[in-house]
C-alpha cells in the first residue's frame, strides 16, 4: 500500500482540463472566423459608403449620424454622372491602354523570364540581380527623364508613353515568371529538343501552357495597375478626347466644391471591371503566387 501511495497522489494532483479538446478546437475555429468576419466588414465599409453616397441626394451626404440607407434613393445620380462627361470615349481609351499593356507585359516579361530560367549565357545571374535591383528604384526618380525622352521623340499627348514601355517587361513580373519557370522540369525541354522543337518553340509550346496560372496573375496585376492608373495619364495626356476613366473622375472635383454623389456613382461603375476580373481570375492568381516560391 505504501508503494502505490505516490502514484495515487500524483493521479489525484493531476488537474483535469476545464474544457474538452473538441470544445477548445471549436472555440479556436470560432475565434478565427469571428476575426475574419470583423476584418471583412472593416474592408467592406468604404465600398458600402461609396454605394450609399452614390444613391443620396446632395444635401444628405454629410448628415450626422450617417444615413447608410438613403431616403430617398436617387438612381438618377448614375445617369447624371455618365451624361456629364463622354464616358463612352473614356472607357474606350482605358480599355485600349489596358489591353495593350497586358499584352506587352505578359509577352515581354515571359520572354525575359524564359531566358533567365532556361537558357545559359554569360552574365545571366548578374543581369538578373540587376533587374531585381531596379525594383528598389522609386518610380518618381525616373519620371522626369522619361518625360524628357517622350517629349523629344514627340510622344506627348498620345497613348504611346503608356503602352510602349510595357513591351520592355517589368522587374517584378520577370521575377514572378522566372520563379514559376524553375518549377517546370528541364526534362520537358530535352524531350522537346529531341522532337525537333526550337528554343522559341519550347517557349511557345511547352513553357507558356504550363505557366498559365502565373501569366494570369501577371495579367490581373497589370489590369489593375493600368485600369486605375492616374499619375502617368495626367502627365502625358493633354487632350480631353484622350482622357482615361481615372482622369475623367477628377472632373467631378472642382476648386471650391465636389459633387460627391456623382463622383461615387461614377467611381463605383469604374471599379466594377476590376472586381469582375479579380473574381473570375482569383483561382489562377492564387496558384501563380503560391507556386512562385516553389523551386525544384
Q: What is the pLDDT of residue 200?
A: 87
pTM equals 0.81
User: Binning pLDDT at 50, 70 and 90, where does residue 277 land?
Assistant: confident
Can you tell me whether residue 211 is helix, strand or coil?
coil
pLDDT in tens, 210-245: 888 888 888 888 998 899 889 999 999 988 889 999
CA distance to 236, 243, 272, per residue, from 230 (Å): 10, 10, 17
The grid cell for 235 is 502627365
CA distance to 10, 11, 27, 74, per residue, from 15 (Å): 10, 9, 21, 64
pLDDT in tens, 37-46: 999 888 888 8
Q: Which of 244, 270, 273 is nearest to 159 (CA)?
A: 244
**Cis? peptide before 72, omega within 30° of 0:** yes
Rounded Cα–Cα distance for residues 277 and 266 (Å): 18
Mean pLDDT lowest for which of 38-42, 47-51, 84-88, 291-295?
291-295
Mean pLDDT, residues 31-54 taken together: 88
Q: Are 266 and 252 in contact (CB under 8 A)?
A: yes
Rounded Cα–Cα distance for residues 130 and 279 (Å): 35
Which residues, 6 or more positions from 273, have their beta carbon under 8 angstroms from its beta carbon?
227
Amino acid at each position: 500500500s505504501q508503494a502505490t501511495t505516490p502514484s495515487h497522489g500524483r493521479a489525484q494532483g493531476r488537474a483535469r482540463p476545464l474544457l474538452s479538446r473538441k470544445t477548445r478546437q471549436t472555440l479556436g475555429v470560432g475565434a478565427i472566423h469571428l476575426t475574419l468576419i470583423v476584418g471583412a466588414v472593416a474592408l467592406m465599409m468604404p465600398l458600402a459608403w461609396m454605394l450609399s453616397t452614390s444613391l443620396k441626394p446632395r444635401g444628405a451626404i454629410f448628415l450626422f449620424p450617417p444615413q447608410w440607407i438613403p431616403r430617398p434613393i436617387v438612381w438618377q445620380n448614375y445617369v447624371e454622372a455618365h451624361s456629364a462627361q463622354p464616358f463612352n470615349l473614356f472607357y474606350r481609351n482605358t480599355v485600349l491602354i489596358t489591353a495593350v499593356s497586358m499584352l506587352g507585359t505578359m509577352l515581354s516579361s515571359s520572354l525575359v523570364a524564359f531566358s533567365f530560367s532556361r537558357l545559359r549565357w554569360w552574365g545571366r545571374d548578374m543581369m538578373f540581380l540587376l533587374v531585381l535591383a531596379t525594383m528598389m528604384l522609386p518610380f518618381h526618380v525616373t519620371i522626369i527623364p522619361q518625360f524628357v525622352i517622350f517629349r523629344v521623340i514627340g510622344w506627348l499627348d498620345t497613348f504611346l508613353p503608356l503602352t510602349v514601355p510595357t513591351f520592355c517587361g517589368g522587374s517584378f513580373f520577370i521575377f514572378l515568371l522566372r520563379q514559376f519557370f524553375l518549377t517546370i522540369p528541364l526534362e520537358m525541354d530535352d524531350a522537346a529538343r529531341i522532337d525537333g522543337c526550337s528554343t522559341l518553340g519550347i517557349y511557345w509550346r511547352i513553357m507558356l501552357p504550363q505557366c498559365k496560372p502565373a501569366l494570369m496573375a501577371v495579367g490581373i496585376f497589370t489590369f489593375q495597375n493600368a485600369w486605375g492608373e492616374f499619375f502617368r495619364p495626367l502627365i502625358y495626356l493633354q487632350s480631353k478626347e484622350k482622357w482615361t476613366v481615372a482622369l475623367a473622375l477628377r472632373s467631378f472635383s472642382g476648386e471650391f466644391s465636389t459633387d460627391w454623389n456623382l463622383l461615387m456613382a461614377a467611381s463605383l461603375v469604374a471599379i466594377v471591371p476590376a472586381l469582375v476580373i479579380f473574381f473570375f481570375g482569383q483561382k489562377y492568381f492564387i496558384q501563380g503566387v503560391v507556386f512562385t516560391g516553389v523551386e525544384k
